[in-house]
Amino acid sequence: MGRDAEQVQYRIPGALLDLVLVDLLELTGSTTSAGKLLNLSQSTVSRRYSALARELGLERCRHRPLGSRFGDASWLQDLRRGVNGHRHSCGVLRVSGAPALAPVVATQHWAQWIPVTAMRPGDDPVELIRMELLDGWVCHADDRQLEQMQHHNDMQISPIPGLPIRLLHDKRLRPLAANLN
């Protein structure tokens, strides 16, 4: 089902913006790309991340695996879980997949598409879901790679009604994923 004209797009609360900024930096790999997603300038993203990193003791290290390049503090996962909980309570999942699927997913009111441009060969979308950087990975319904990713015991595949795509997601998101349409 497409977006209703009256439906309001999910907005990140100001108090959570800098924490979301860290996730978007992880996923996109650049202050410019994160800024576009947040409707902020590159310099603003850079300043905000620098200030947050200083305050929280985060360290940027590009040679680390995806998900820990802009901070790998163990408690960061707890903060991320809380921020994600707010988005989930609004009925929105943060998803990604092949760039060609972005326009298809954009028609879905429950989806917040994030282009994961920071992936390197060997990076696994399942790990992005486990780290809670993404809620799901969108694939064409006939994509054989999706079946291989589902072999992880904690993952589930949900069809997207009316579309030739499916969503790989953590089984704990089952109640939210059941409302995909």
pLDDT at res. 4: 42
Could you write out the three-class secondary structure of 143-159? CHHHHHHHCCCCEEEEE
Tokens 């954009």 belong to 106
User: What is the rounded CA–CA span in Å between residue 177 and residue 135?
Assistant: 10
Mean pLDDT in residue range 63-91? 91
- Which H or E run includes 34? helix 31-38
17: confidence class by pLDDT, cuts 50, 70, 90: very high
Mean pLDDT in residue range 155-166? 89
Averaged pLDDT score across all residues of the chain? 87
Yes or no: is domain 91-177 CATH 3.40.190.10?
yes
Tokens 């069809």 belong to 159
* pTM of the full structure: 0.87
Mean pLDDT in residue range 110-135? 91
Domain boundary assignment for the chain = 14-77, 91-177
156: confidence class by pLDDT, cuts 50, 70, 90: confident
User: What is the rounded CA–CA span in Å between residue 127 and residue 133?
Assistant: 9
Q: Which residues contact 23 (CB under 8 A, 6 or more apart)?
A: 80, 83, 133
User: What is the rounded CA–CA span in Å between residue 173 and residue 85?
Assistant: 11
- Residue 42 near residue 49 (C-beta atoms within 8 A): no
